[in-house]
Amino acid sequence: MEFYVEKIEHNINHYLTSLKTEKNLSDKSIKAYHSDLSNFLSWLKEKEYLKIDDEIVNIYIKYLQNEKKLKDSSIKRKYVALKSYFKYLVHKKVISYSPIEDCRISFRTSKSLPKTLSRLEVERLLKAQIEDFKILKSEFRKNICIRNIAIIELLYCIGLRIGELVDINIEDIDLIEQTVLIHGKGRKERILFISSTEVIDRIKEWLEIRSLFNPLCNSLFINKYGTRLSIYSIEDIFYKYREIADIDTRSTPHYLRHTFATQLLNNGADLRAVQEILGHSSVTTTQIYTEVSTERKKEVLLKFNARNHIKL
């Protein structure tokens, strides 16, 4: 069964609106859907296809695999975007049947282990900021450093995504209760407890001087212009101290989140609790950290492995 390409183009905006109003998806997710659908539409026009059926969809998937050489995870995301859109068109009676229904596509689910920093590397990273502060001369640079210290400390202390960190507003943080409201993926919110009093002190130090940056918004962390920091600014801050600390040059701010989760599990935290803290919708996502939480495996094997007691 087939339908004309123009039906895709005419209904995309209505579909994107429904994702926001009915499914409450974040702007970032909607932007990804828009990109995937637009790319498909551009490909159809380039190939001068006037109609779509399951064969055309299969050709497109092969194009992504063989010519674009995208990862299976990326292709699967684009496939899911098309499947969801066609399902919407069927529901709205724009088309009578989804061409995706007849597609037989399998995706390899390769599992890459989370990359982490060692405890020593984390300590060097945190200390690098303190040492940097000591050698700064100007008051402005010192104030920037105070902000940066609070940023890195908070990222590591509660295992935030950098997108979540930049979205924190002043009213989201309660220094008396030591809690912070996190605006997570898919507009899901969670409250986290900042367990380290040192980290609380770092945040207080930043809040005492925040007004010197002439805030133009209610964001917790602002730039020198008084506006909300971007995720790219957070990355630059991390890379600066990564270089000073001389730690893994491949590491990114997300390594701190991976390290945080792995250390929780190493220290005996419950998997479900870690899932809630990280804001994962499924415990399956959290389980990957058990693959790199080697300390507890080491403890069990040293204590219970019978081979340790066989002497030849």
Read off the pLDDT of residues 103-130 as tens digits, 9 standing for 90 and up: 777 666 556 788 999 999 999 999 999 9
At residue 23, the pLDDT reads: 79
At residue 109, the pLDDT reads: 58
What is the 3-class SS of the chain, one letter each residue?
CCEECHHHHHHHHHHHHHHHHCCCCCHHHHHHHHHHHHHHHHHHHHCCCCEECHHHHHHHHHHHHHCCCCCHHHHHHHHHHHHHHHHHHHHCCCCCCCHHHHCCCCCCCCCCCCCCCCHHHHHHHHHHHHHHHHHCCCHHHHHHHHHHHHHHHHHHHHCCCHHHHHCCEHHHEECCCCEEEEECHHHCEEEEECCCHHHHHHHHHHHHHHHHHCCCCCECCECCCCCECCHHHHHHHHHHHHHHHCCCCCCCHHHHHHHHHHHHHHCCCCHHHHHHHHCCCCHHHHHHHHHCCHHHHHHHHHHHCHHHHCCC
Q: What is the pLDDT of residues 281-298, one digit of tens each?
A: 889 889 889 888 887 778
At residue 281, the pLDDT reads: 87
At residue 178, the pLDDT reads: 96
At residue 296, the pLDDT reads: 75
At residue 1, the pLDDT reads: 56
The model's pTM: 0.73
Q: Catalytic amino acids?
A: 161, 185, 254, 257, 280, 289
- What's the rounded mean pLDDT across residues 185-190? 85
